[in-house]
Amino acid sequence: MKNETTHFGYETVAEQEKARRVAEVFDSVASRYDLMNDLMSGGLHRLWKAFTIQRSGVRPGARVLDVAGGTGDLSLAFAKRVGPQGQVWLTDINNAMLARGRDRLTDKGYMLPVAQCDAEKLPFPDDYFDCVTVAFGLRNMTHKDAAIAEMRRVLRPGGCLLILEFSQVWKPLAPVYDFYSFQIIPRVGKLVTQDADSYRYLSESIRMHPDQESLKQIMEGVGLERVEYFNLALGVVALHRGYKF
Ligand code: SAM
C-alpha cells in the first residue's frame, strides 16, 4: 500500500495520522473554544458567521446541515431562521466539541439533531439538504476535495454549499498578520488554554490552506456551479458559495 502524506500545519505527516492529531487539538481546546474565538478575532467571527447566514438564503422550513459545526454557532443561528418546520443538523467528528455544542444549544432552548461524523463520509441521503455549511472546519480535513464532494452529494438540486474559512490576506497586511498569528495567538492560547501548540497549529494550518481562487477551483472540480467568494477583513477570511444543479 502506498504511504500517502499530508500536512498537519507545517509538518508532513502520514494521512492516517492527521485525523488523530486534529482530534488532539480540539479535545484540548474544546472547553475554552468560544472564549478563544472572541479573544483572537476581537468578536469579528460573529460578524463573519452572520454574513454567512445572510448569504445562505435559507428560509423558514428549510433543511440545513452544519458540518464541523463544533460548538454550534451556525446551527443556533440557522435554527432560529428555519423555525419549527425546518431541520438543522449539528455534526462534527469530535465528541468534545459536539458535546459542548449540544449543551450550549440545549441551554438556549434548542434541541437539534446531532451526529458525530467525518465530513468525508456523511451519514445522510443524496439530495437531502437545502443548504450545507462548514465554518473554519475545512482546513482540518485530510481530503478536502472528497469532503466537498460529499457535501455536494447531500445537497438537493438548487441547494447551496457555504464554506467560511481563513484565506489569503491582502498582501500589504501580511507582515502584521504574520506577527499577530505567530507571536501573539500562541501566547494567548497558552494563557487561556495552557496549550500554545494547538494555536500554533491554527496559524500554520491557515497558511497551508488553499487560497481563494484555488478553493473555488476545488469546488468547481467536484461539480459545484456559480461558485463565488466574498473576502472578509481583507481576505483574513473568505466565504465561498457554490450551488448544485
Ligand atoms: N464550525 C465551528 C465554528 O465555526 O466555530 C467550529 C470550527 S472548529 C475551528 C473546527 C471543527 O472542525 C472542530 O470542531 C473539529 O472537530 C472539526 N473537524 C475537523 N476535522 C473534521 C472532519 N474530518 N469531519 C468533521 N469535522 C471535522
The per-residue pLDDT for range 18-48, each reduced to its tens digit, is 988 998 999 999 999 999 999 999 999 999 9
Taking the whole predicted model, whether its pTM rises above 0.75 is answered as yes
- Give distance in angstroms: CA of 6 to centre of ligand 1: 18
Could you tell me the pLDDT band of residue 16, with boundaries at 50, 70 and 90?
confident
- Show the cell assigned to 142: 485530510
- The Cα–Cα gap between 94 and 113 comes to 16
What is the number of the ligand 1 atom nearest to the C-alpha of 72?
2
Pairing relationship of beta strands 87-92 and 63-67 according to DSSP bridges:
parallel
Q: Is 64 exposed, middle or buried (0-12, 13-18, 19+ CB in 10 A)?
A: buried
Other CB atoms within 10 Å distance of the CB of residue 3: 7
Nearest CA residue ID for atom 19, ligand 1: 140
- Give distance in angstroms: CA of 70 to centre of ligand 1: 5
Other CB atoms within 10 Å distance of the CB of residue 209: 19
Widest pairwise Cα distance in the chain: 49
Number of domains forming the structure of the chain: 1
| Ligand 1 pocket mutation, candidates 89, 102, 140, criterion most atoms within 8 A of CB | 140
Q: Stretch 66-78: mean pLDDT, rounded?
A: 98
Other CB atoms within 10 Å distance of the CB of residue 84: 7
- Give distance in angstroms: CA of 229 to centre of ligand 1: 21
Using the predicted structure, report yes or no on whether residue 167 has a pLDDT greater than 90.
Answer: yes
Q: Stretch 154-164: mean pLDDT, rounded?
A: 98
Using the predicted structure, report yes or no on whether residue 2 has a pLDDT greater than 90.
Answer: no
- Show the cell assigned to 144: 478536502
Domain boundaries, position 95: 5-243
- The Cα–Cα gap between 223 and 243 comes to 9
Query: Cβ < 6 Å from ligand 1: which residues?
Result: 22, 26, 68-71, 73, 92-94, 97, 118-120, 135-137, 140-141
Percentage helix, strand, coil for the chain under 3-state DSSP, each rounded to 5: 50, 25, 25
Written as one letter, the residue type at 198 is S
Sign of CA dihedral 177, 73, 78, 153: positive
- Give distance in angstroms: CA of 115 to centre of ligand 1: 13
CATH code of residue 199 = 3.40.50.150
Q: Stretch 3-9: mean pLDDT, rounded?
A: 88
The per-residue pLDDT for range 116-138, each reduced to its tens digit, is 999 999 999 999 999 999 999 99
Written as one letter, the residue type at 215 is L
